[in-house]
Structure 1
C-alpha cells in the first residue's frame, strides 16, 4: 500500500515522456522532399541554440553530435553547415559548434553562418551552401528541425524537394528535455 501514492506521479511522468517521444519521432519524418538521391552529395544543416560564453552549450553539443551522425558515409561529399550568430554572446554559435565538431573528429568541409539570429535567418543564410547538394538534412531537436524544413519549403521549394530525414531523434536521448521541447515546438509550428 505504501507504493500506491507513487504510482500516479510515476505513471504521469512516464506518460509525458512517452508522449514527447512520439511527438519528436513523428516530427522527424515530416516535411521531407521526394527528389533526393542517396549516396551522392549532401549538406547537413545544424541549427544553433542561444549560447552564452565561449564553449558550446549542452544543446549545441547535442545538435552537433546529431549532425555528425546524420552524415552519410556513402555520400560522395558531405558538408556540415553550422548556423548561428552571437545571439547571447560575442562569439557566434556556429564558431563554437565548429570547434566542437572538430574536437569530435570531423575532418570534412564545414561552412559557417555566423550572422543569423532566428531560425528563418538560419535557413535563409544556409541556402548558398545547399545549392549543389543532392540531399539536404536539417538537424536540431525534431520539432525545431521541422520548423527549419517548413522555412525552406517557403523560401526555396526546389531545394526543399531534396530534404531527407536527419538522425536527430533517438528514443530516450534527452528524454527529460523532450517534453518541454515538444510543447514549445508544437506552439512554434502553428501556422507553418
Structure 2
C-alpha cells in the first residue's frame, strides 16, 4: 500500500514537471512579461489557488523591468480575479514592480486573447498557473499567435514537493483538460 502511494505521488510530480516544461523555448534577451492566470474567486480576497498563483508568478520574475499581468474577470458580483491577485501581490507580498490587469476574460482562451495586446513587445513570455493549465494556455497562444508563442519561456510554476499530495489529482484533471484540447 505504501509503495502504491509513493508511485502515485511520484507520477503526479513527474507529470506536473513535464507539463511545466512543455511548449517553451530558450528565450533570450529583451523585456519580460509574466502572465498570471486567475482561478474562480467569488470571495472578496484572493483564494488559496490564486494566492499560490501570485507567489509562483512573482518568483518567475527574472529582474527589473518585468511586467506582471494578472488575468481574470469577475466570478460573481465582486472584484475581478485579476484585481484580487494584484491586490494580494502588492499589499500582502509587497510587490512594487509593474502590474497590468486584464479583467474581462472568463475562460482560458479569453485570458490569452485578451492579454495579447499586452505581450506584443515582450521578448520573453511566461504563463503562470498550475502546470497543466499553463500548458493549455501556451497551446492557445500557439493557436492564436504563433509569432508570440515562439517567445514562451518556462515559468517557475513547478517546484518538487510543492502541492505534493494534490499533484496526483491535478494530474488527473490535467489529463482530462488536455485531452479536450487535442480533440479540437
Provide the TM-score with structure 1 as the length reference: 0.90
Q: How do residues 36-51 of structure 1 correspond to structure 2 at under 5 angstroms?
A: 36-38=27-29, 40-51=30-41
CA distance in 2, matches of 1:150, 1:25: 17
CA distance in 2, matches of 1:12, 1:55: 38
Q: 1:157 aligns with which of 139, 146, 151?
A: 146
1:106 pairs with 2:98: no
Aligned residues: 180
1:116 pairs with 2:108: no
1:184 pairs with 2:163: no
CA distance in 2, matches of 1:12, 1:88: 41
Q: How do residues 20-39 of structure 1 correspond to structure 2 at under 5 angstroms?
A: 20-33=12-25, 36-38=27-29
Deviation (angstroms), 1:90: 2.0
Check conservation: 1:53, 1:89, Cα contact below 8 A. Answer: no
Deviation (angstroms), 1:88: 4.1
| Partner residue, 2:123 | 134
**Residue by residue, what CA displacement relative to the aligned partner does 1:93-123 show, whole Å, maximum 9, x if unpaired?**
0000000110212111111111111111111
CA RMSD of aligned residues (A): 1.3
Check conservation: 1:51, 1:89, Cα contact below 8 A. Answer: no
Stretches of structure 1 lacking an aligned partner (at least 5 in a row): 1-7
1:95 pairs with 2:83: yes
Deviation (angstroms), 1:91: 1.4
Check conservation: 1:138, 1:145, Cα contact below 8 A. Answer: yes
Higher alpha-carbon Rg:
1
CA distance in 1, matches of 2:4, 2:161: 17
Deviation (angstroms), 1:89: 4.8
Secondary structure (helix, strand or coil) at the match of 1:147 reads helix
| Partner residue, 2:56 | 66
Provide the TM-score with structure 2 as the length reference: 0.93
Q: 1:56 aligns with which of 42, 46, 65?
A: 46
Check conservation: 1:44, 1:78, Cα contact below 8 A. Answer: yes
